[in-house]
Structure 1
Amino acid sequence: MLLSQAWETYESDKRIEGFSPQTLKAYKLQSSLLIRFFNDVQLDTITTDQLKAYLAKSSESLKPASLAHRNRFMKSLFRWSHEEGHIPKNPAAKIKEPKTGKRIPKFLTEMEIEHLREACCSPMEKALFEFMFSTGCRIGEIVSLDKNRINWSNRSAIVRGKGDKEREVYFNIRCDIWLRRYLDQRQDCNPAIFVTERYPHQMSIAQMRYIIKRISGRARINKNIHPHQLRHSYATHLLNIGAPLEAIQSLLGHEKSETTRIYAQVSGSLRQELYKKYF
């Protein structure tokens, strides 16, 4: 089986398993880079040493996190190929994950959140910002959310997260007010909760990112603001007011507790403030 054929079959299988379009898009890029490096050779001709050489070459230009992502795709593809019987043995089996180090998520202070809130100009911007911050949703979960998934009686929504898993998220009163105002002023019949301003259709991830960038430009915050920072800020806020990690894990939709535990490091700044206050 050729490398390109392996990718096509792998992609079909993972699509059926429920991999998100964003994950498959990222993996498609990685498959293209793999094919460019090896050419479209037979899968069973690739050796462990060749894969190590590929990663070594990649490490010259990639940051540790990007290298780890490339390695995960490569290991996943060859593990799947071996399990499906396309190759007699897995050449990536003994390749170890590169050390990336634990990076503390970048979050926004309460003051920065307020500056962003004041910089929102329209009901759409206010509704989008408040929904992102008060639910802690991933941007992909908001993009795919329809209006009929909102439960106004308890201010919640059912979102579809990673692995096609559904979970209930909650939003606050401020978000409720602006979301209702935004939806009430819309004239379109599109089912999506957020639509484009011109010729309304479901808003894309790129368009949502642009709106947050536009808001942050007005707020004049000296940071590169992106939607995932609002998710980090949501988790940090919950942690700082005493929410247990297990509850934060459930609200964020993290499958592994280790993913959530990194936020415990964020509270170091809070501990320092408490120390200065009481010691």
Structure 2
Amino acid sequence: MKESNDYWKSNLEDEATKAIMDEYLLSLKLENKAERTIRNYRWFLERFFSICTLPLNQLTTNEVRKCFLHFTNGKKEKTVDAYLTALSSFLQFCLAEEYIENVIIKKRWRPKIPKSLPKYLSENEFARVKITTENSALRDRALMLFLFSSGCRSSEVSNLSIKDVNLEKRTAEVTGKGKKIRKVHFSEECALVLKDYIHTRICKESDPLFLSNSDQRIGPKSIYYITRKIGKKAGLNQSLHPHCCRHTFATNMLARGATIEFIADELGHSNLNTTRIYARILTEDMITSYQNIMG
């Protein structure tokens, strides 16, 4: 099994393609792309080029298209789009480095994906979840309040240590995508519950903020499990997961008058268009309310 720090090295048998792919994956690492993204790209590219075995300089549009359709047969449109993004990124790198001479992937290959709105909790659902957390373990309550009032991703919460959190100022320094550090805020209620939770432990500043049941740093999967469990206890019709908490945070902030720019900073969005989708949620909610009243 490969060491963690070698996640950007491929396992291809063809040495020539492997060398180029390793160069490409290393370039992603040097650009501070998330490790998860690099691993996903590597996984797809390794499997694609185990099917498409022509040397890179002999690739044609027709051959790549045929192999790509074979590989993505039966896959959902979002999955096809993600695979196409990885393949397109790699082949653009090959073109820029002159490993290939022509553009291979065509824009028309991109599947049309209907724009879906982020799933978030209504005021009633949010209130039910908060009531449920009041009867939950102190760690779980602190965790849920932090997710809802900071808008952080589960991976960002998992990586937090006690030293990263200022309970008096109600701020935390989190490491987001591309290893970018940003400051987020959380509620007074969250600060009080966090303080109580930390006081139940014998810990150092360098210790993880949230611990698993085995007293290790809590992982994203465990955070997902906790949110899902609380959502079920609250009787939600939809599954509650960390990103739903994040969407609920953003929607609530916008509804209360926060600017798109402020919300983008809190969420760690580098592109404002990513944040503007929450404005669409409020607009569509208002249309629905109008239709319910006026018919």
Is TM (by shorter chain) over 0.5?
yes
What whole-Å deviation, never above 9, does each CA across 1:116-161 have from its counterpart, x for those lacking one?
2233311110111111110111112112222211122321111111
The unaligned stretches of length 5 or more in structure 2 are 1-14
1:104 paired to 2:117: yes
Whether the 8 Å contact between 2:210 and 2:218 is mirrored in structure 1 is yes
More displaced stretch, 29-38 vs 164-173: 29-38
More displaced stretch, 102-111 vs 55-64: 55-64
Counterpart of 1:9 in structure 2 is 23
The unaligned stretches of length 5 or more in structure 1 are none
> Are residues 93 and 161 of structure 1, via their aligned partners in 2, closer, same or farther at CA, if it must alter by over 3 Å?
farther
Whether the 8 Å contact between 1:196 and 1:202 is mirrored in structure 2 is yes
1:160 paired to 2:148: no
Tell me how far apart the structure 2 counterparts of residues 209 and 179 of structure 1 sit (CA, whole Å).
19
User: Paired residue for 1:179, among 191, 194, 199?
Assistant: 194
Taking structure 1 as the reference length, what is the TM-score of the superposition?
0.89
User: Paired residue for 2:89, among 67, 76, 83?
Assistant: 76
Deviation of 1:187 (Å): 2.9
> Are residues 46 and 133 of structure 1, via their aligned partners in 2, closer, same or farther at CA, if it must alter by over 3 Å?
same
SS of match in other structure, 2:208: coil
Whether the 8 Å contact between 1:4 and 1:35 is mirrored in structure 2 is no
Tell me how far apart the structure 1 counterparts of residues 266 and 71 of structure 2 sit (CA, whole Å).
36
Deviation of 1:274 (Å): 6.5
> Are residues 75 and 195 of structure 1, via their aligned partners in 2, closer, same or farther at CA, if it must alter by over 3 Å?
same
Tell me how far apart the structure 1 counterparts of residues 235 and 198 of structure 2 sit (CA, whole Å).
28
More displaced stretch, 269-278 vs 256-265: 269-278
How many percent of aligned residue pairs carry the same amino acid?
26
1:208 paired to 2:220: no
SS of match in other structure, 2:236: coil
Counterpart of 2:208 in structure 1 is 192
> Are residues 55 and 224 of structure 1, via their aligned partners in 2, closer, same or farther at CA, if it must alter by over 3 Å?
farther
What whole-Å deviation, never above 9, does each CA across 1:141-192 have from its counterpart, x for those lacking one?
1122222111223211111111222211100011101111111112354622
What whole-Å deviation, never above 9, does each CA across 1:61-80 have from its counterpart, x for those lacking one?
22222111111111111112
Counterpart of 2:7 in structure 1 is none
What whole-Å deviation, never above 9, does each CA across 1:32-66 have from its counterpart, x for those lacking one?
33133324x42222222223234434554222221
SS of match in other structure, 2:127: helix
Q: Which has the higher contact order (CA 8 A, sep 6+)?
A: 1
SS of match in other structure, 2:182: strand
Counterpart of 1:131 in structure 2 is 146
Whether the 8 Å contact between 1:132 and 1:227 is mirrored in structure 2 is yes
Tell me how far apart the structure 1 counterparts of residues 129 and 71 of structure 2 sit (CA, whole Å).
38
Counterpart of 2:159 in structure 1 is 144
Q: Structure 1: which amino acid aligns with 2:225?
A: Y
* Correspondences of 1:39-54 after superposition (within 5 Å): 39=53, 41-54=54-67
Whether the 8 Å contact between 1:145 and 1:193 is mirrored in structure 2 is yes
Q: Structure 1: which amino acid aligns with 2:233?
A: R
Tell me how far apart the structure 2 counterparts of residues 219 and 192 of structure 1 sit (CA, whole Å).
28
Deviation of 1:85 (Å): 3.6
More displaced stretch, 78-87 vs 158-167: 78-87
SS of match in other structure, 1:18: coil
User: Paired residue for 1:56, among 69, 76, 91?
Assistant: 69
Q: Structure 2: which amino acid aligns with 1:202?
A: R
Whether the 8 Å contact between 1:79 and 1:93 is mirrored in structure 2 is no
Alignment RMSD, CA only? 2.4
Tell me how far apart the structure 2 counterparts of residues 173 and 43 of structure 1 sit (CA, whole Å).
57
Tell me how far apart the structure 2 counterparts of residues 16 and 259 of structure 1 sit (CA, whole Å).
24
* Correspondences of 1:210-229 after superposition (within 5 Å): 210-229=225-244
> Are residues 214 and 94 of structure 1, via their aligned partners in 2, closer, same or farther at CA, if it must alter by over 3 Å?
closer
SS of match in other structure, 2:173: strand
Deviation of 1:211 (Å): 1.4
